[in-house]
Structure formats: structure tokens, C-alpha cells
Amino acid sequence: MAASPSSAASSAYAELAAALAARGIGFVYAPDRRAALEYLRVHIPADARVMNGGSHTLEEIGFLELLQHGGYQWLRPAIAATHEREERIRRRREATTADWLVGGANAVTQSGEIVNVDGSGNRLAGYAFGAGKVILVAGVNKVVPDLAAALERIRNRAAVQECRKLAKDTPCARTGRCDNDACRGAERQCGKILIIENEKIAGRITLLLVAEPLGF
């Protein structure tokens, strides 16, 4: 089981937990990826409508296998199953209102802002309001001092690796550095950015922080 935020192991993150609580965002500390996966298994009801945001972190902790075999109404396979553009968009829009949306976080500031970037923004729509419950899973490598560091991390580290992995022809993939002004068109991966600064619905968003480096 994931440890509680009050455990000794998570005391280093007590400040972050308090900052998130003040913003209406829950905080759960997992000492490792196994504990994180167990937290998700225990807290998401077996028959729930569940969507996952594309995330290397979720792949690394084994969440996709849990979705395949956990008995959930997992929405992503139906999206992947159609190649008809309009129907695919309709299913993606529908998935933004999943009962549970589990995704990654590109960066988390020490004062509790959660930053995510997306090409089309479908994940962000669910994180911002669409989904009933949102759990964002982040390795400790995602915690940064402030928003400037968050954007630096996203553009000059995460996007570089993502664009290279997807063989995108973007400035960051070519040079290792973002050139925002020169990056336009369909290849661009940073289409929309969401900064979660506050949540009004109690218990809706939880940050699940895993005490190991995960994802880009």
C-alpha cells in the first residue's frame, strides 16, 4: 500500500503536501512504483469508466496492464479501434468526461502548481474539469522549484525526448533546445499548456508522488 503523507518516509514532501492541500489538491506519497500501482488498484472502482492520459510514467509503473486486466470500462481501446477521423474525435471528447482520469504530470512546483503540456489538449480538458476524479502520477524528478523551471523542464527536456521518440521534425528534436517561435504546424507537440493552481471540488484531484524518477 502507498504510505500516507504523514509517514516518516514522506516527511521530505510535507511542504509540498501542505501547499497542495491549500490549493484543494490531494497528495499521496508512494515509496516506489509498486506502491503507486497498488494505490491506483485499491482506489479506482473495478467497474469505473476510466481513461488514461498518454504517459511514460503510467507505462513504467504498470498501470496499462492493470487497465487491461482490472475489469474497468477502459475508454482508450475504443478510441484506438477506429480510424475514422470524426468518430475518433468524438470518442476522445467523450473520454474527457471519464469517471476517473489517470495521467502524468510534466512538472510540479514546490509551491504546488501542476503543469502539463499536450499536443491537442484532450488530456488537459479532462484534468481541468471534464473528468470526475483525476489522479496525476509523478516521479520525484518532476518536482521543480518554480514555474520558470517547470517550463524549462517541459520544453528543453521532456519535449526533446518525446519529439525524438516520436520522430517529430521539431526544433527541439533537431537541436536539443526549444525554439518556440520557429515551431509551428502539425509536428509541434506543445500545443496547449495547463497550470493547475487550484481545485474547487474537494477530493477531485490527487497528486500521487512516487519516490523514484519516472518518465521524461
**Cβ proximity of 136 and 206 under 8 Å:** yes
Q: Among residues 159 and 210, whose Cβ is nearest to ligand SF4?
A: 159
Q: In what order do the strands lie in the sheet with 100-104?
A: 26-30, 205-210, 133-139, 100-104, 49-52, 73-74
CB nearer to ligand SF4: give 52 or 170: 170
3-state secondary structure of 151: helix
**Which three cell numbers, joined as nine digits, stand for 198?**
487550484
Q: Which residues bind ligand SF4 (CB under 6 A)?
A: 155, 159, 163, 170-172, 178-180, 183, 188-190
State the nearest-atom distance from the C-beta of 135 to ligand SF4, in Å. 26
Smaller CB separation from ligand SF4, 5 or 53: 53
Q: Alpha-carbon distance 1 to 171, whole Å?
A: 42
* C-alpha closest to that of 95 among 80, 81, 76, 82: 76
Q: How far is the CB of 149 from ligand SF4 (least distance, A)?
A: 15
Closest approach of ligand SF4 to the CB of residue 93, in Å: 24
Rounded least distance, CB 116 to ligand SF4, Å: 13
Q: In terms of CB distance, is 33 or 155 closer to ligand SF4?
A: 155
Comparing CB distances to ligand SF4, the nearer of 44 and 172 is 172
Neighbours of 162 (CB within 10 A): 23
Q: How far is the CB of 120 from ligand SF4 (least distance, A)?
A: 13
